Chain A
Amino acid sequence: MKIPKDNNLRTLTIGLIIVLIFGFIATDWFRFMAQMSLATFLVVLGVMLQMRAGLVSFGQGLYLCLGAYVAGMAGYFWGITDVFLLLLVGTAACILLSIVLGFLLVRYRGIFYANFSLALSMILYGLLVKAEILGSTDGFNVPHSTFLGFAPEGETLKIAIFVLTCVIIYIVSLVLHRYLNSTYGYAGDAIRQNEIRVEYLGASVRSVIHKIYVIAAAISGIGGVLTAIAVGHVDPDLAYWTTSGEFVFVALLSGTANVMAPLVGAFLLELLRTYAFEYAPYTWQMILGIAMLMVILFLPGGLWSIGSFRRTEN
């Protein structure tokens, strides 16, 4: 039987090349904005994976913050500055914590899952705010990163971090795209559509959700490490509920149909926020709220669903 053609590898590769070229010619602030969008994108991917299984995480900031803090602490306290080691320790910490917390979370669905994930994130926020050794509410600065012994400075460092971010996002997107087309990807979708049927087909719903939770934590942790090394600073706000809310916002804005959807959504959020803040500094949240409302009312499947409508019409 003929297997449907998959153009995502080609699209992602073209996208990587365009973004890399853009990184070299863009202004400093625009490149930084794009970079933050890319880091946000990873966390949104984590939210999206859970949404595909019918679970809304209002606490994905937990893993963004944990990844960022572990990378920051590794540099600040233990002198580790190599980005690849930082990525390793940051991601490993998120995986370990999510394996443990996953045993608790897999028991819950709907609003209980959302609130539980939110509560866990706020516990981390509370702990960090009280931790004077970690700078309390101010956080602390992350030392400059090195790349396998190479220690760039100034503009070169910024570009190096941008390129690293792009390459990591390319790899993660490919892996996740493969995942979404695997049995596990479909199993997550199947759980959202009919959990009881999945059990009666012989699959363990809890086990599938646990794995989804761990994968989501791991990629959010990578996003956290990339945020820490790009900004050069970490603070507890990364775990605050409004940060997690933004990830849900982007996931709803973009839709969950494809790994590339959150990439568009994350970039649009940064763009919208930047200009809303520029032109309406006191009411920019209202503009974000109205945008969200419009998407929910007119594009319940997110921005990505525009393409689906067109395909359906054709």
Chain B
Amino acid sequence: MTAILQTKNLSIQFGGVVGASEISVAVNKSEVIGVIGANGAGKTTFVNLVTGYLKPSSGTIHYMGNEVTNLTPREITDLGIRRSFQIPQLFDEMTALENMLTAQSVAPKVPRSYWLPLQRSDTMESAMERLKLFGISDSSHRQVSLLPQGVRKILDIAMATVGTPQLVMLDEPTSGVSAEEKFEVMDIVMDAFAQQEVTVLFIEHDMELVERYANRVLAFYNGLVIADSDTRQALADPQVREYVVGKEIHRTHAP
């Protein structure tokens, strides 16, 4: 296995609160990693550190063998690490298609034609293709502030995959999505990623989703990684059962 992302002793504190403590993790190519932990355990902080939103107080981050510890979000995006957000970060006054067109036209590693019209037949076709890939082409001409949360979530993720991402970090891709929709959303997203051969790291509170989609789990507690192993093993870990998932995993759907 080749590690495309490696963090070493990554730490950050917010006043007296530990956001991340000595986190050393290696993410291998083509893995699908579920990141679990209670609220405030340090999951989003970890994603924020890797994607340049936060700067660590100590420790290093290497991506594809190069140090990226203090790079800006834009520089990290340029290198091929993308992210989605817990609350979808969209351009609310634009339509879904315009969001995708904007994402496509400013994305790194695609020919940038800033002065050409945004809405050209070639750009519109590729934007629609991407919306189709993620199953939301029906909403293409609707203003995104009026879209259901599930569609907004998928659009947020779809926009993060424009260009040639190697690693995509999803922050709670199904939060705010109804119980009936969440498997559908994850199926669409994971199928699209599988087609693009992207390494995925997703934060999730729903253990059924983690069990179904992740082949490896990182469990966080108080800024520490308390488990890092394959999914079954991690979810059976006594510490994980005590601090993260509870003693029993209650099933509402068959895996």
Query: Which residues of A sit under 8 angstroms from B93, Cβ to Cβ?
Result: 189, 193
**Interfacial chain A residues near B105, Cβ < 8 Å:** 183, 186-187
Stretch of B25-33, B71-79, B244-252 contacting A (4+ beta carbons < 8 Å)? B71-79
Contact check, B114 vs A202: say whether CB atoms are below 8 A apart.
no
A196 at interface, CB cutoff 8 A: yes
Is B106's CB under 8 angstroms from A198's CB? Answer: yes
B124 within 8 A of A: yes
Shortest distance between the CB of B191 and any CB in chain A (Å)? 23
Interface centre among A178, A186, A189, A202 (most CB of B within 10 A): A202
Binary contact readout B147-179 vs A (1 if CB under 8 angstroms, 0 otherwise): 000000000000110110000000000000000
Which of B94, B101, B108, B117 lies in contact with A202, CB distance below 8 A?
B108
Asked whether any CB of chain A lies closer than 8 Å to the CB of B103, the reply is yes
Q: Are A193 and B94 in contact (CB under 8 A)?
A: yes
Q: Smallest CB-CB separation from B82: which chain A residue?
A: A200
How does the 8 Å CB contact mask read for B119-131 relative to A, with 1 for contact and 0 for none?
1110011001000
Shortest CB distance B111–A (Å): 11
The reply to whether B162 and A201 contact each other, CB–CB distance below 8 Å, is yes
Interface 1/0s, chain B 237-249, versus A by CB < 8 A? 0000000000000
Q: Are B121 and A196 closer than 8 Å at their CB atoms?
A: no
B107 at the interface (CB under 8 A from A): yes
Q: Which residue of A lies closest to B99 (CB)?
A: A190
Partner among B89, B101, B115 whose Cβ is within 8 Å of the Cβ of A196: B89
Chain A residue nearest to B77 in the complex (CB): A202
Contact digits for A169-203, partner B, Cβ 8 Å, 1 yes 0 no: 00000000011011111110110011011111111
Q: With a CB–CB cut-off of 8 A, which chain A residues contact B121?
A: 1, 3
B188 within 8 A of A: no
Contact B90 A200 (CB under 8 A): no
Interface size class of chain A, counting residues whose CB lies under 8 Å from the partner chain: 20 to 34
Assuming the contacts A198-B106, A199-B74, asked whether A193 and B91 have C-beta atoms less than 8 A apart, the reply is: yes
Q: Say whether A190 contacts B118, CB under 8 Å.
A: no
CA distance A194 to B94 in the complex (A): 11
Contact of A1 among B72, B112, B115, B128 (CB under 8 A): B128
Query: Is A4 interfacial (CB 8 A cutoff)?
Result: yes
From A182, A184, A187, A203, B74 is in contact (CB under 8 Å) with A203
Give complex CA distance A3, B128 in Å.
13
In the complex, A242 has a CB within 8 A of chain B: no
Q: Are the C-beta atoms of B115 and A204 separated by less than 8 Å?
A: no
In the complex the two chains form, what is the Cα distance from A183 to B117 in whole Å?
Answer: 6
**Among candidates B83, B102, B116, B117, residue contacting A190 with C-beta atoms closer than 8 Å:** B102
Interface size class, chain B? 35 or more
Given the known inter-chain contacts A193-B92, A200-B83, A201-B107, please indicate yes or no for A183 contacting B102, CB distance below 8 A.
yes
> Which chain B residue has the least Cβ–Cβ distance from A182?
B115
Min CB distance B190 to A, Å, is 21
A199: which B residues are within 8 A, CB to CB? 72-74, 77
CB neighbours of B98 from chain A (8 A): 186
Residues of B within 8 A of A3 (CB): 119-121, 124
Are A4 and B82 neighbours in the complex by a CB distance under 8 Å?
A: no
A5 to chain B, nearest CB (A): 11
CB <8 Å contact, B159 and A201: yes
Q: How far is the CB of A166 from chain B (nearest CB, A)?
A: 25
How far apart are the CA atoms of A67 and B121 in the complex, in Å? 40
A-chain residues with CB within 8 Å of residue B106 when the two chains form the complex: 183, 187, 190, 198, 201-203
Say if the beta carbon of B69 comes within 8 Å of chain A: no
Q: How far is the CA of A62 from the CA of B59 in the complex (A)?
A: 47
**Residue of B at shortest CB range from A198?**
B106
**B-chain residues with CB within 8 Å of residue A183 when the two chains form the complex:** 102, 105-106, 112-116, 118
Contact between B89 and A200, CB atoms less than 8 A apart:
yes
A186 to B123, CA, bound (A): 14
Nearest-CB distance from A119 to chain B (Å)? 28
CB-based contact A202/B89 at 8 Å: no
How far apart are B25's CB and chain A's nearest CB, in angstroms?
Answer: 21
Interchain nearest-CB distance for A209 vs B (Å): 13
Does A187 contact B114, Cβ atoms closer than 8 Å? yes
Q: Is the CB of A186 within 8 A of B78?
A: no
Pairwise interchain contact B94-A184, C-beta atoms closer than 8 A:
no
Q: With a CB–CB cut-off of 8 A, which chain A residues contact B82?
A: 200
Contact partners of A193 in chain B: CB under 8 A: 91-94
- 10 of the cross-chain contacts (CB-CB < 8 Å) are A1-B121, A3-B120, A179-B115, A183-B106, A183-B114, A186-B105, A187-B102, A190-B94, A194-B89, A201-B106
Known: A3-B121, A178-B117, A197-B159. 15 other contacts (CB 8 A): A182-B114, A183-B106, A184-B114, A186-B118, A187-B105, A197-B90, A198-B106, A200-B82, A200-B89, A201-B106, A201-B162, A202-B74, A202-B77, A202-B106, A203-B106
4 nearest A-B residue pairs (beta carbon): A203-B106, A202-B108, A1-B124, A197-B89
Residues of B within 8 A of A (CB): 51, 72-74, 77-78, 82-83, 89-94, 98, 101-103, 105-108, 112-121, 124-125, 128, 159-160, 162-163
Q: Which chain A residues have a beta carbon within 8 Å of chain B's beta carbons?
A: 1, 3-4, 178-179, 181-187, 189-190, 193-194, 196-204
